[in-house]
Structure 1
Amino acid sequence: MELTWHGHSTWHVVVDDTELLIDPFFDNPKTDTDPEELDPDYLLLTHGHSDHIADADRYEGATVVATPELTGYVQETFGHEHAVGGMGMNIGGTVECGDAWVTMVRADHSNGIDTGYGTSAGMPAGFVIGDKKPTQESDADCTTFYHAGDTGLMSEMVDVIAPFFEPDAAALPIGDHFTMGPAGAGIAADWVGADVVFPMHYDTFPPIEVDPEEFEREVKAAGAAAETVVLEGDETYVLDEHGGYEDS
């Protein structure tokens, strides 16, 4: 599994022959990637805020994976024709996306469409992406990545996500103000039980300017066993069931 961070909450994930793009927003200081260079099979949207769907219109050929409310908005506004399951999905559901299995999990956040704050995009979400369908049986050969979306610290991380999905890697927001800050994200790193944790959703705007070294310190202070990896924008990390390694 290849994980590439394009700044903010934008991740390009490759599982075998399947490409997934999460929360496309390339107008951020961490990326030099031209969004037209990417051709994802699936477009995963955690919620409807503009810093998570601003470049969704560039990928009309991708299948949208989002709540039914957000899926409908994106189809009507940006012209997407395809949605997973024909209608989107919801919290707790798992769908097969090519060579990947995608489960939508809870995130504690808000979810109004920015172009009209009274318009709901359904529940905000995070995603767990694996190369095998999740079951109650632990599978050491399964590789799993947890994208937490925009969230605060929540007990679901330790009660559901860690024991059921056993993520190998997790991307956690650290910017504070709109999401968890470094301290909350450090606790989350411990709670989700991942081997590797990446900071995201920071330094994009003045209110979320944070030194990622704060996150590293908080991960250690929480007693988390996870390795903290601070990626540069557009940098790739290759993950497998035996661990991962960086690939610039």
Structure 2
Amino acid sequence: MREDDRQRKAYGKAWEAGLRPAMKGKGWRKYWSSISRRDGLWFICAECVLLWPTRRLQFLLQAKPMTLDPLLWEIIGAQGNDTQPLSFRKWGTFTCEPPIFAEKIVECGAPEQMAVDFVQFATSERSSILHELPLKPFSTILETMAAKDSVGMLSTTRVLSLLDEEKYDDAISFLTGNFAKGVSINVARPDAQGRMRSTSFFDLAHDYALSQKGRALALDEAAAPYLI
């Protein structure tokens, strides 16, 4: 068992050592076993997972709009997250999960070559999804993935996408419907008596949606006389 663990660590270390030269000059930033980049409005991240018991590697490519995490931080009152490195949007606390758009499982080979193959996978799949992502609202893309998201890992991301697209009624409906809300974020907020209480992002998002909907209606009413 110890020998197997030693081999796993040695392989992972050799693979990671080969990653930096493999990605050089290609626009990616490295963090642990992942690489990420910003492409205009999009955060793109590729991750490599070592499936050591079966001696395989899992390549994953994920993406989300750059606007979602700042909206999350605004709603929950997180301060300073916007100054964090780009990789924080994948690995940091109080961030929304980006959906998986591409996956590939390969047999473990020479670690340096596997690092090259991983970067090639990330670069190729990035080009493909950058052509596809602008074709539909992100909330619509997430809706098509709902059947595969049985534990609700993308629920927070879906709510944020609806709010980001100013679909406040849809967000309110999603948050009040009979569904498993899934994985959420809890933050400590003071109650009316000043005592700190754990509050769900879903509850805060519901209040935010109501507030923004009311604001939008007020603006429409104020502008109505000038549209005649």
* Alignment TM class, shorter chain as reference: under 0.3
Q: Higher Cα Rg: structure 1 or 2?
A: 2
Q: Which has the higher helix share?
A: 2
Give the structure with the higher percent strand: 1
Q: Could you state the TM-score of these two structures normalised by the residue count of structure 1?
A: 0.24
